[in-house]
């Protein structure tokens, strides 16, 4: 049978296959490993996966890749990023090294508001130009799908410009971008004394405009998701404000996401579960009762260990406890210019093992199939299964555990996106 591509003789073919949804519990430690494995691709989709002897006898390929001595696995999915922004915050990094906290920097006019000023001043083309090399680096490190948030505009025009930049990048770059509207990321300076008025602006003006943008975008044409997210934390938005924004987003057809429990636990996890959020992210200080509530839900918990590393924190999400409780756990870089200037999913997985107690298999599943479920694409990407998009990596290592064993390196030799070597 003719196919476009056959990758064969892999020392390990790691499928991360999952029947119907994210992995949790014991299944999270099963990467679906096939020794001396192969995968066949036609028209950008996976058509078969299994032992090399079977597939080499079954298929006649236009292109072949001999992966002898190497690992083949799904492309990584980065389920939480702020990849589109202007400027940088390197000065704040130095302030932090000198002892300033994240919240102190925000109170001094830095943090999200600093990036807001740069982003408001940028054109769509400038935002695209700034983000493209970040995506290039992420792709070279094995990331093939990225969730991309707005939230550095904090006014109608600037938030829409960010969405337009995300659209352009999704059309032009090999990496797929999943858009998330995060207008409720911070209260902008012009509303500092009346945050409820800013919530009014988000609900009454921003969300209808974003829904209109989506209806005219290629995302709607392809039935790809649009998310509405809120930073639910003291100093940002309280529970009532958060629920108001999320419910308004749902009324416009947007699925929910939520930043919660990064610094303080104020009930964001329960709110996320109550709103049937697709994911709730950060979870650094989530208490045991909220972990149990998350485990009993369909909401994916996304942890972001690069934040703790970058902030010099000793507080990391209790990932081991979450997995043991049955949470569907995913991983992401939280790439952003302030708290996580991190492009690398391999590094993120390694941190989750060291500081969260995850096994290598759990970290890999959390950064592939579970991360795909956290962005509403678990039926399309994140695993090597028949019918899914052929987003594949050839890793120049003999064992998949090397992905997390090495710190700061790059195991990726080849990236295949929709069946094409990129």
Tokens of 51: 């032992």
Q: Which two tokens stand for residue 108?
A: 């001094």
Task: Categorize the per-residue pLDDT at 91 as very low, low, confident or very high, splitting at 50, 70 and 90.
Answer: confident
The mean pLDDT of 226-251, rounded to a whole number, is 97
Question: Where in the chain are all domains bearing CATH 2.30.40.10?
Answer: 2-74+382-421
8 Å CB contact between 310 and 333: no
pLDDT in tens, 260-304: 999 999 999 999 999 999 999 999 999 999 999 999 999 999 999
Q: Are 6 and 65 in contact (CB under 8 A)?
A: yes
Query: Does residue 410 have a pLDDT over 90?
Result: yes
* Dihedrals phi, psi of 227, to nearest 5 degrees: -110, 155
Phi then psi dihedrals of residue 258, to 5 deg: -155, 130
**302 and 374 Cβ atoms separated by less than 8 Å:** yes
CA distances, 167 to each of 77, 98, 162, 172 (Å): 18, 38, 9, 9
The pLDDT > 90 percentage for the chain reads 91
Range with lowest mean pLDDT among 16-20, 193-197, 326-330: 16-20
The stretch 218-243 carries a mean pLDDT of 94
pLDDT at 383 over 80: yes
Report pLDDT for 150: 98
- For residue 41, the SS3 value is strand
Pull the structure tokens for residue 291: 């972990």
What pLDDT does residue 222 have?
A: 82
**Residue 169's pLDDT is what?**
98
Residues 164-183: pLDDT tens digits? 999 999 999 999 999 999 99
CATH 3.40.50.720 fits 2-74+382-421, yes or no: no
Residue-level pLDDT at 103: 73
Rounded mean pLDDT of 36-63?
Answer: 98
With cut-offs at 50, 70 and 90, classify the pLDDT of residue 192: very high
Domain with CATH 3.20.20.140 in the chain: 76-374
Overall average pLDDT of the 202-230 stretch: 95
Place of tokens 């210019």: 337
Give the single-character DSSP code of 193.
Answer: T
> In this prediction, what percent of the chain has a pLDDT beyond 70?
100
Superfamily classification of domain 76-374 = Metal-dependent hydrolases (3.20.20.140)
How many angstroms separate the most distant Cα atoms in the chain?
A: 70
Q: What pLDDT score does 94 carry?
A: 87
Query: b vs e for 162-185, b when ≥16 Cβ sit within 10 Å of the residue's Cβ?
Result: bbbbbbbbbeebebbbbbbbbbbb
| Contact of 271 with 258, CB cutoff 8 Å | yes
Which residues, 6+ apart, have CB-to-CB distance to 365 below 8 Å?
Answer: 16, 18, 23, 28, 29, 30, 31
**3-state SS, residue 82:** coil
* Residue 309 CB neighbours (<10 A): 17
pLDDT for 291? 98
The residue-averaged pLDDT of 369-394 equals 98
Question: What SS3 class is residue 324?
Answer: helix
Name the DSSP class of 75: P
């Amino acid at each position: 049978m003719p196919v476009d591509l056959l990758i064969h003789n892999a020392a390990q073919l790691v499928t991360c296959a999952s029947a119907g949804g994210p992995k949790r519990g014991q299944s999270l430690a099963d990467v679906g490993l096939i020794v001396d494995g192969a995968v066949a691709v036609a028209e950008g989709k996976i058509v078969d996966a299994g032992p090399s002897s079977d597939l080499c006898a079954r298929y006649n390929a236009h292109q072949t890749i001999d992966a002898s001595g190497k690992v083949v696995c799904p492309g990584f999915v980065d389920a939480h990023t702020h990849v589109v922004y202007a400027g940088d915050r390197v000065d704040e990094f130095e302030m932090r090294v000198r002892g300033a906290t994240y919240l102190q920097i925000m109170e001094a006019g830095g943090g999200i508001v600093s990036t807001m000023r740069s982003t408001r001043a940028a054109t769509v083309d400038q935002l695209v130009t700034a983000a493209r090399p970040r995506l290039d680096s992420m792709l070279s490190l094995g990331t093939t799908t990225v969730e991309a948030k707005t939230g550095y505009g904090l006014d109608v025009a600037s938030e829409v410009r960010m969405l337009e930049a995300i659209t352009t990048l999704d059309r032009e770059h090999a990496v797929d971008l999943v858009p998330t509207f995060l207008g409720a990321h911070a209260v902008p300076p012009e509303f500092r004394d009346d945050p409820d008025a800013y919530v009014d602006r988000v609900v009454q003006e921003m969300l209808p405009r974003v829904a209109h943008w989506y209806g005219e975008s290629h995302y709607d044409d392809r039935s790809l998701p649009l998310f509405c997210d809120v930073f639910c934390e003291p100093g940002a938005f309280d529970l009532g404000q958060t629920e108001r924004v999320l419910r308004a987003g749902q009324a416009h057809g947007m699925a929910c996401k939520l930043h919660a429990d990064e610094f303080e636990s104020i009930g964001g996890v329960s709110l996320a579960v109550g709103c049937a959020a697709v994911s709730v992210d950060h979870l650094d200080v989530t208490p045991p009762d909220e972990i149990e509530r998350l485990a009993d839900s369909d909401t994916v918990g996304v942890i972001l260990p690069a934040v703790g590393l970058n902030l010099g924190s000793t507080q990391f999400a209790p990932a081991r406890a979450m997995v043991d409780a049955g949470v569907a756990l995913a991983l992401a870089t939280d790439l952003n210019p302030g708290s996580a200037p991190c492009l690398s999913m391999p590094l993120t997985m390694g941190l989750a093992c060291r500081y969260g107690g995850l096994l290598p298999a759990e970290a890999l599943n959390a950064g592939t199939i579970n991360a795909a479920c956290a962005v509403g694409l678990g039926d399309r990407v994140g695993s090597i299964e028949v019918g899914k998009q052929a987003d594949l990596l050839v890793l120049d290592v003999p064992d998949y555990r090397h992905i997390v064993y090495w710190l700061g390196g790059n195991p990726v030799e080849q990236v295949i996106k929709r069946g094409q070597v990129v």
